[in-house]
A and B are shown apart, each in its own frame.
Chain A
Amino acid sequence: SQQGEEDPQALSIQEGENATMNCSYKTSINNLQWYRQNSGRGLVHLILIRSNEREKHSGRLRVTLDTSKKSSSLLITASRAADTASYFCATDVGAGKSTFGDGTTLTVKP
């Protein structure tokens, strides 16, 4: 079974709206990361949040982590058509390895 699972599977919004994606995981983690993947390409790292952090910002991205609920959320504010992509959370499973969920596919309509 996967360590991290994203929700929803798919999200469609209008340009300018905010997009929120969630990730739940099962076991304790050292950190959690979010990645983005444009169609047919490799993943690109967005943000890392450590287990002792509750919130982190990077530009229009805001990530929260609730270790008591074993969940994280990624908020993209003022979305743009160029934000259309799949978004994955990655949780660590020890020895430097990560496990990825199935991702949330975000479509931002112009």
Chain B
Amino acid sequence: DVKVTQSSRYLVKRTGEKVFLECVQDMDHENMFWYRQDPGLGLRLIYFSYDVKMKEKGDIPEGYSVSREKKERFSLILESASTNQTSMYLCASSPWGEGAQETQYFGPGTRLLVL
């Protein structure tokens, strides 16, 4: 059974803190994604990685960075958390599909509250 896990289901942080969100997949997928989900705005892509040490900016990368040192792990970093980064964060992975979107497998999400 395919599995994507995220390090925390709920997280409370203070403004200015550095925040790490971890995502691990066990399907040997090439692609990994970080989204944030906000009411009325749907899912927005923050960063995308198609290989180890490779990353691409999504639609809303400002205030975020990512790290992919191993194929199975994709980390999202909030360098200095702000209240407008309070959101639900979803990680997903998919196989490489030669350019076309493939089925994405999602983790359970991390609900982050920045105070």
Contact = CB atoms under 8 A, between A and B. Distances in A.
Contacts of A33: 101, 103
A100 B33 CA distance: 13
A95 B50 CA distance: 9
B72 to A, nearest CB: 17
Interface of B: 4, 31, 33, 35, 40-43, 45, 48, 50, 56, 58, 88, 90, 92, 94, 96-97, 99-109, 111
Q: Which 8 A-B pairs have the closest CB atoms?
A: A92-B101, A42-B106, A30-B100, A100-B43, A102-B42, A98-B101, A43-B106, A45-B103
Contact of B101 (A30, A40, A44): A30
Interface string A28-62: 00110101000011111100100000000000000
